[in-house]
Amino acid sequence: MSADTTHILAPQGPYPPGPEMLNAPVDPQWSRESGARLRAVWAQPRGLRYWSAVNNSEVGQWYAMLCFGFMLAAGVLALLMRVQLAVPGNDFLSADRFNQFFTMHGSAMMFLFAVPMFEAIAILLLPAFLGARDMPFPRLSAYGFWCFAIGGTFVFGSVFFGAAPDSGWFMYPPLATQSEGIGADIWLLGLSFIEVSSIAAAVELIVGVLKCRPPGMRINLMPLYAWYVLVVGAMILFAFPPLIAGDFLFELERSFDWPFFDPERGGDPMLWQHLFWIFGHPEVYIIFLPSIAIAAMIVPTAAGRPIVGYSWIVLSAVAVGFLSFGLWVHHMFTTGLPAISLGFFSAASEAVVIPTGVQLFAFLATLMAGRVRMSVPMLYIAGALAIFTCGGLTGIMVALVPFDRQVHDTYFIVAHLHYTLFGGMVFPVMAGVIYFYPFIRKKMMSPRLGKWAFWLVFTGFNLCFLPMHLTGLQGMPRRVYTYPDLDALNWGWLNMLSTAGAFVMAAGFAVFLWDVIRPKGRDAAAPRNPWGGGTLEWTHDVPEDPGWGVRSIPYITSRYPLWQQEGLLERMDAGGCYLGDAPEGLRETLITTVLDARPILVQRVTGPTWITLAAAGFTGGLFILPVFKLYWPALACGAGAMAAILWWLWRDTARPPEAARKPVGLGLSLPLYATGPASVGWWGMFITMLGDMTAFASLVFGFFFYWTAGDDFPLPGAGHGQPVLCGLAAACYGGGWAAMRLARGWNRGGRVGRARLARAAAPVLALAGALAMAGAVWLPGLDPASHVYPAMLWAFAVWTVVHSVPGLVMPLYCLAGSLRGKLTPAHDADLWNCTLYWHFLLITALVSAAVLGPIPRLM
Amino acid sequence: MTGPADRLRPDEEEKTIAEESSSLWLLVVSPTVWAVHFAASYAITSLACVKFPDLLGVGGLQWIIGALTGLALAAILATALRSWRQWDFLEDYDHIHHRPRSEDRHEFLGHAAFLLSVVSFIGTVYVALPVWLTGTC
C-alpha cells in the first residue's frame, strides 16, 4: 500500500528564495491590480451581515470586548461585596445574595474573563505575529466565540434573576450537589458549554503555531508569544477535560441521582476536588503564561534589543506547563490526605518557582542590556512584575503545608491569589491593550489617561489587597457575608481600607475603559510602528485594515524581521513575497512544515457565514435546556447542531481543488490539497481527540480512585457488566475500526466500490457496538442510583455510546462524499480524519468494555 | 547583534533530517519523565498509605520510590547528555541560535532540551525528598 503514505504533492520551483529574487523589482501595475483583487477577497461584510464575519481580526475583537465586559460586570459584583464588608454587621447584601455574588465573581473572572481573554488576544494577534492571513480554521474561531457569547450571557445573566450558583467557584459537593434551585446546574452546564470554545481555541492555536508560520520562520526564530501559545494550547488540552469529566459526573448526580459524590452510597466528594483542581491549578498558569507572553513582546521593544535568553524563556514556558500539573493538591492540604502525598505537591509547588523566576530574570536582563525607552505599556509591565513578585512570595509561603494549614480559607489566600492574578494577568493584559491598540484600532490610546489609570489601579489594588494579608493572618475567613464588631477582632478598619482601595481601583478601570471606547475620530492616525517593534505585527496596514493580515507573506530569516531584514516591509507591501494575489477569488493562507517552516501547501480558508452562529445556537440549546429538565428539546438541539456542522463541513471544507498546484510567487508552486498528517484538518482532529482522551482518562482515574479510597468498590454482590455483551461490544467496535481502516486503503488504491461497502458497514457496527455496550449494563439490572459502583459502570457505557454517534455519522458522511465526488481516491482528507476519529473511538470502547467486564472481576 | 560565532561550518549545515524530527520530542522527554515519576510516586503512596496500609509500610515505600527516583534521574541524565551533545556548546560557544540555518535550529532545540533536563532533574529530586524526610504516612 505504498500509495497510502503520500499525503501531498511536492512543491515545485526554487526554495528558499535567493537574494536576487528578493531584490528583483515588482511590476507596479501588477502590484496595484493584484492588491485590488486581494482586497476584494478579504473585504468584510457590511451592515447586518457584519456579524457573519469569521475573520480573526473581527472575531478576536468581539471576543476581547465581551471578555472585558464580563470582567467589568464581575468587578461590579466585587465592589458590591466590598460595600457589604466595609463595616461589621452590615446588611447591605443578604447572605444568599452575597453567596451568589462571590460565586459569580470568581466563576466569571476565571471562565468568562481570564481564559477567554487569552483566546481572544491570541486569535486577534497570533496570525499577525506569524505573518499569516488568518487562523487555519476561521469558522471554528467564530463558532467558539458564539458558544462563549451564548454560554457566558446565560451563566452571568442568572445573577439578575437571583438564580445564580451560590456554592463557591469550585462547587464543592455535598454543598453544591445538594444545593436547591438551578444555580449549580447553570454553573455546570453553562461552563461546560464554554469549555467547548476553549478547546476549539486550543485546537486552532496549536495548529496555527505549528503549521501557519511564514516560510523561513524556523522554530528557533518564532516570536516568544507563539511559544507561549503553543504551551498553553497543550495545557488546555490536558487541563480542561478533567473538569468536563467532573461536570459530566456531577450533572449525572444532580439530574439522575447517580451518587458519584455521595458518601452514603459509596461516592466520594474528594473525587470532585481532585478533578476540579487538576483543572484548576494548571488553569492559573493557562492564564498567567499568555499574559507574561505579552510582556515578552513589549520588553524587547522597550529595551530596543532582542530578548536576552530566548532558549531560557522557552525552557521556562515548557517547564511551567509541565510542573503546573503537579500542584493541584496544594488546594487540598487540609483534606486529610497522607502526609507524604502532601509533601509531593508541596515540593512541586516550590519547584515551579524556578522556571517562573527564570523568565522574569530574562526580562530584567533584557532591560538592563538594552537602552530602555519608558512607555506607558512598559509602566504597566513594571507594575506587573512588582505585584507578581509579591504574589509569588506569598505563594512560596502557602505552598508549605504547615503555613497553609494556618491561613487556609482566610483572607490571606484572597490576598495571595489576587496578587498573582493582577501581577500575572491583569496588568500585562492592560499593557497589551495599550501596546497593541494602534495595531487593532489604528489610533493611539492617550498616554495621560493611561498613566492616570495605571496609578489609580496600582494604588487602589495595593490599598485593597495588602491589608487582606493582615485580616487573613488575624483569622478572618473567606466567603463570610459579614462579621461581628468585636474589639478583639479588630477587622473593621482593615476592611474599610480594602473597600476604599477597591473604589480607587474601580476609578482607574473607569478611566481605562473610557480611554478604550472614547471616540477617537479627531485623533491623529497612529504611525504604522509607533513603538518601534521588530516583529511582524507592525507590518499591519494603516490607516485601515483590509482584513488580509499581510499584503504578501514574507520570507523570514530572523527573530526581529523589522529590525534585521532590510527592505522586507517594502517588498511585502508591493505584494512581492508569497501569495500576493488571489486570482481565483478565494481566501488562502500558507501552510509550512513544523520545524523549518518550508512552504508545502496553499490552504483555502473559509469566509463569512451564518452557519457558525446557527451551530452555536443549537449547541447552546443542547447545554442550556437540560438546566430546565427539557431533555428532549435538548437532544433535538444536539441533532440541529450536528446538522449545522455537517452542512458547514460539506459545503466548504476539503473540496477537491480546480488544479493540483498553483504559483504562489517567487517562482514557487504549491499544491492545493493535502490529506492525512500533511493537512491541517487531520491535526485539528488529532488535537481535539487528544483532549477527548484526557477526559476519558479522567473517568478511568475516577474508577481507580474509588477503588483506592473506598472499601466497597467494586460493590460486593452488585454484579458487573454482562461479560458476553462486553466482548461483543469490543468486537463490534474493533470491526468498525477495521472497516474504516480498510476503506481508507481501498479508496486510495482505487477500489472505490469495496471502500464504499466498508464505509457502509462501519455505522452498522458502531450501532451494534453501542447497543451491546448499553445491554451490558442494562441486562444485569445494575441500578445506577443505588451505589457509586453501578453508577460508574453506567457512566462508562453512556460515555462510549455518546461517542459512537459521531462514529456512526462520519462513515456516512464519507460515503455521501464518495457518491457525490467530494471524496475521491486522490482527495481523501475526510476519510483520513474520520478514520483517525475511529482510532480514538476504538480505544475508548476497548477500555470501557474492559472496565465493565473483566477488570472488576479481577479486583 | 552578533552571535559568538557567525562563521558557518559546512558540515554542520547538513545534519540529517531524521535526527531533526525527533528533536522536537527531545524537548519534552525529561519533563515527561518528571511527570511519570510524579504520578507513579503519588499513586504508589496512595496504595501504600490508604489501600494497603499493612502491606508495605513506610520503609518499603521509601525503597520503591527511591528506586523509581534512581531510574528517573538516570533517564533525565541520559537525555541531558544527548541534548548537551546536540547543543554542542563547547564547539562554537553559541547560546543564542538566532540565525536562519538548520544548525541554529538544531542547537537551539538541544539547548532548550538541556535546560529542561536540568529543571526536571531538580523537580524529580524535590518530589523524592518528602518520602525520605517524612517518616510516616
Please write the tens of the pLDDT for every residue from B80-98.
Answer: 999 999 998 888 888 889 8
Q: Would you state the cell numbers that stand for residue A397, as one nine-digit string?
A: 509561603
Tell me if B19 is assigned to some domain: no
Find the mean pLDDT for residues B66-86.
Answer: 95
Q: What total number of domains does chain B contain?
A: 1
Question: Cα dist. A237→A21, A231, A582, A692 in Å?
Answer: 42, 10, 35, 8
Tell me if B8 is assigned to some domain: no
Q: Over the stretch A360-373, which tens digit does the pLDDT of each residue have?
A: 999 999 999 999 99
Q: Over the stretch A603-651, which tens digit does the pLDDT of each residue have?
A: 999 899 999 999 999 999 999 999 999 999 999 999 999 999 999 999 9
Q: Is A300 helix (H, G, I), strand (E, B) or coil?
A: helix
Tell me if B91 is assigned to some domain: yes
Q: Does A351 contact B47 at a Cβ distance shorter than 8 Å?
A: no
Closest residue of A to B120, CA-based? A319
Q: Does A344 contact B47 at a Cβ distance shorter than 8 Å?
A: no
Cα angle, residue A98 at apex, residues A96 and A99 outer, rounded to 5°: 65
CA A412 to chain centre: 30
Contacts of A221 in chain B (CB under 8 A): 98, 100
Q: Over the stretch A137-182, which tens digit does the pLDDT of each residue have?
A: 999 999 999 999 999 999 999 999 999 999 999 999 999 988 888 9
Using a pLDDT cut of 90, give the percent of chain A over it. Answer: 90
Length of chain B in terms of residues written: 137
The answer to whether residue A488 scores a pLDDT higher than 90 is no
Tell me the residues of chain A between 550 and 579 that have a Cβ less than 8 Å away from chain B.
Answer: 556-559
Q: Would you state the cell numbers that stand for residue A207, as one nine-digit string?
A: 495548529
Residue A547 is given by DSSP the state: S
Between A178-182, A434-438, A800-804, the lowest mean confidence (pLDDT) is in A178-182
The answer to whether residue B19 scores a pLDDT higher than 70 is no
Q: Does B38 contact A311 at a Cβ distance shorter than 8 Å?
A: no
The shortest C-alpha distance from A595 to chain B (Å) reads 8
Picking from A815, A832, A822, the residue whose alpha carbon sits closest to that of residue A756 is: A815
Closest residue of B to A701, CA-based? B43
Q: Does A596 contact B21 at a Cβ distance shorter than 8 Å?
A: no
Label residues A608-619 b or e (16+ Cβ within 10 Å = b). Answer: bbebbbbbbbbb
The shortest C-alpha distance from A10 to chain B (Å) reads 17
The shortest C-alpha distance from A347 to chain B (Å) reads 5
Amino acid at position A432, single letter: G
Using 50, 70 and 90 to split pLDDT, how confident is the model at B54? Answer: confident
Find the mean pLDDT for residues A428-438.
Answer: 97
Query: What is the C-alpha to C-alpha distance for residues B17 and B9, in angstroms, rounded to an integer?
Result: 17
CATH 1.20.210.10 fits A61-517, yes or no: yes
Tell me if B92 is assigned to some domain: yes
pLDDT score, position A678: 87
pLDDT score, position B88: 86
The answer to whether residue B17 scores a pLDDT higher than 70 is no
Residue for grid cell 462514529:
A807
Query: What is the C-alpha to C-alpha distance for residues A147 and A637, in angstroms, rounded to an integer?
Result: 14
Q: Over the stretch B106-117, which tens digit does the pLDDT of each residue have?
A: 899 999 999 999
Q: Which of B27, B28, B38, B84 would best serve as a mutation to test chain A binding (most A beta carbons within 10 A)? A: B38
Could you tell me if A698 and A275 are in contact, meaning their C-beta atoms sit under 8 angstroms apart? yes
Picking from B62, B50, B32, B55, the residue whose alpha carbon sits closest to that of residue A705 is: B50
The answer to whether residue B2 scores a pLDDT higher than 60 is no
The shortest C-alpha distance from A309 to chain B (Å) reads 7
Q: Over the stretch A235-245, which tens digit does the pLDDT of each residue have?
A: 999 999 999 99
A694 near B CB under 8 A: no
Contacts of A339 in chain B (CB under 8 A): 130, 134, 136-137
pLDDT score, position B16: 44
| Phi/psi-derived region of residue B93, left when phi > 0, alpha when psi is between -120 and 50, beta in every other case | left
Helix runs in A370-410, H state only: 376-398, 401-407
The shortest C-alpha distance from B7 to chain A (Å) reads 16
pLDDT score, position A447: 96
The answer to whether residue A498 scores a pLDDT higher than 50 is yes
Q: Does B1 contact A310 at a Cβ distance shorter than 8 Å?
A: no
Q: Is A424 helix (H, G, I), strand (E, B) or coil?
A: helix
Closest residue of B to A556, CA-based? B100
Could you tell me if A35 and A575 are in contact, meaning their C-beta atoms sit under 8 angstroms apart? yes
Asked whether the bond before A338 is cis by omega within 30 degrees of 0, the reply is no
Query: What is the C-alpha to C-alpha distance for residues A538 and A531, in angstroms, rounded to an integer?
Result: 9
Beta carbons within 10 angstroms of residue A541's beta carbon = 16
**Who among A220, A221, A343 is closest to B134 (CB)?**
A343
Find the mean pLDDT for residues A80-102.
Answer: 95
Asked whether the bond before A714 is cis by omega within 30 degrees of 0, the reply is yes
Contacts of A517 by beta carbon, 8 Å cutoff, 6+ apart? none
Q: Over the stretch A505-551, which tens digit does the pLDDT of each residue have?
A: 999 999 999 999 999 989 999 999 999 999 999 999 988 888 899 99
Tell me if B4 is assigned to some domain: no
Closest residue of A to B127, CA-based? A344
Find the mean pLDDT for residues A436-454.
Answer: 96
Contacts of A672 by beta carbon, 8 Å cutoff, 6+ apart? A601, A602, A604, A657, A658, A659, A660, A661, A662
Q: Over the stretch A255-284, which tens digit does the pLDDT of each residue have?
A: 999 999 999 999 999 999 999 999 999 999
- Angle, nearest 10°, between helix axes A269-303 and A427-441? 60
pLDDT score, position B59: 87
Q: Is A128 helix (H, G, I), strand (E, B) or coil?
A: helix
Q: Which residues pair with A671 in a beta bridge?
A: A661
pLDDT score, position B21: 60
The shortest C-alpha distance from A603 to chain B (Å) reads 23
pLDDT score, position B14: 41
Q: Does B31 contact A318 at a Cβ distance shorter than 8 Å?
A: yes
Contacts of A314 in chain B (CB under 8 A): 112
Q: Would you state the cell numbers that stand for residue A411, as one nine-digit string?
A: 483572607
Q: Would you state the cell numbers that stand for residue A416, as one nine-digit string?
A: 495571595
* CA-based torsion, B117, B122, B123, B124: positive or negative: positive
The string of DSSP codes covering A566-632 is: TTHHHHHHTT-SBT---TT---EEEEE-TTT--EEEEEE-----SHHHHHHHHHHHHHHGGGGT-HH
Using a pLDDT cut of 70, give the percent of chain A over it. Answer: 99
> Could you tell me the residue range of the domain that residue B84 belongs to?
25-133
Helix (H) or strand (E) run with residue A671 in it: strand A668-671
Contacts of B132 in chain A (CB under 8 A): none
Closest residue of B to A317, CA-based? B116
Contacts of A557 in chain B (CB under 8 A): 99-100
The whole-chain average pLDDT of chain A stands at 94
Tell me the residues of chain A between 208 and 227 that have a Cβ less than 8 Å away from chain B.
Answer: 216, 218-221
Residue A541 is given by DSSP the state: -
A647 near B CB under 8 A: no
pLDDT score, position A587: 94
The shortest C-alpha distance from B23 to chain A (Å) reads 9
The string of DSSP codes covering A693-715 is: HHHHHHHHHHHHHHHHH-SSSSP
Find the mean pLDDT for residues A425-441.
Answer: 96
The shortest C-alpha distance from B92 to chain A (Å) reads 16
Query: What is the C-alpha to C-alpha distance for residues A29 and A844, in angstroms, rounded to an integer?
Result: 58
Size of interface A-B (CB pairs under 8 A): 137
| Phi/psi-derived region of residue A575, left when phi > 0, alpha when psi is between -120 and 50, beta in every other case | left
Using 50, 70 and 90 to split pLDDT, how confident is the model at B23? Answer: low
Query: What is the C-alpha to C-alpha distance for residues A841 and A835, in angstroms, rounded to an integer?
Result: 10
Question: Cα dist. A494→A78, A98, A586 in Å?
Answer: 17, 20, 62
pLDDT score, position A677: 87
Q: Is A414 helix (H, G, I), strand (E, B) or coil?
A: helix
Q: Does B120 contact A348 at a Cβ distance shorter than 8 Å?
A: no
Max CA distance (Å), chain B: 65
Find the mean pLDDT for residues A741-766.
Answer: 95
A312 near B CB under 8 A: yes
- Angle, nearest 10°, between helix axes A447-473 and A411-421? 150
Closest residue of B to A713, CA-based? B51
Using 50, 70 and 90 to split pLDDT, how confident is the model at A408? Answer: very high
Between A133-137, A459-463, A766-770, the lowest mean confidence (pLDDT) is in A133-137
The answer to whether residue A4 scores a pLDDT higher than 60 is no
Could you tell me if A555 and A532 are in contact, meaning their C-beta atoms sit under 8 angstroms apart? no
**Domain at A698-858: CATH code:** 1.20.120.80
| Residue A753: Cβ-neighbour burial (10 angstroms; 0-12, 13-18, 19+) | exposed
Q: Is A745 helix (H, G, I), strand (E, B) or coil?
A: helix
Contacts of A697 by beta carbon, 8 Å cutoff, 6+ apart? A241
The shortest C-alpha distance from B63 to chain A (Å) reads 14
Q: Does A343 contact B49 at a Cβ distance shorter than 8 Å?
A: no
Could you tell me if A619 and A192 are in contact, meaning their C-beta atoms sit under 8 angstroms apart? no
The string of DSSP codes covering A192-226 is: HHHHHHHHHHHHHHHHHHHH-PPTT--TTTS-HHH
Find the mean pLDDT for residues A11-34.
Answer: 93
Q: Does B45 contact A340 at a Cβ distance shorter than 8 Å?
A: yes
Contacts of A133 by beta carbon, 8 Å cutoff, 6+ apart? A42, A127, A548, A549, A550, A553, A579, A587, A588, A589, A605
Closest residue of A to B124, CA-based? A348
Query: What is the C-alpha to C-alpha distance for residues A686 and A692, in angstroms, rounded to an integer?
Result: 10
Q: Which residues pair with A669 in a beta bridge?
A: A12, A663
Q: Over the stretch A44-74, which tens digit does the pLDDT of each residue have?
A: 899 999 999 999 999 999 999 999 999 999 9
Q: Is A478 helix (H, G, I), strand (E, B) or coil?
A: coil
Q: Which residues pair with A603 in a beta bridge?
A: A589
The shortest C-alpha distance from B71 to chain A (Å) reads 18
| Residue A44: Cβ-neighbour burial (10 angstroms; 0-12, 13-18, 19+) | middle
ipTM tops the 0.95 cut: no
Contacts of B105 by beta carbon, 8 Å cutoff, 6+ apart? A218, A219, A220, A595, A596, B20, B97
Could you tell me if B83 and B27 are in contact, meaning their C-beta atoms sit under 8 angstroms apart? no
Q: Does B116 contact A318 at a Cβ distance shorter than 8 Å?
A: yes
Query: What is the C-alpha to C-alpha distance for residues A794 and A259, in angstroms, rounded to an integer?
Result: 12
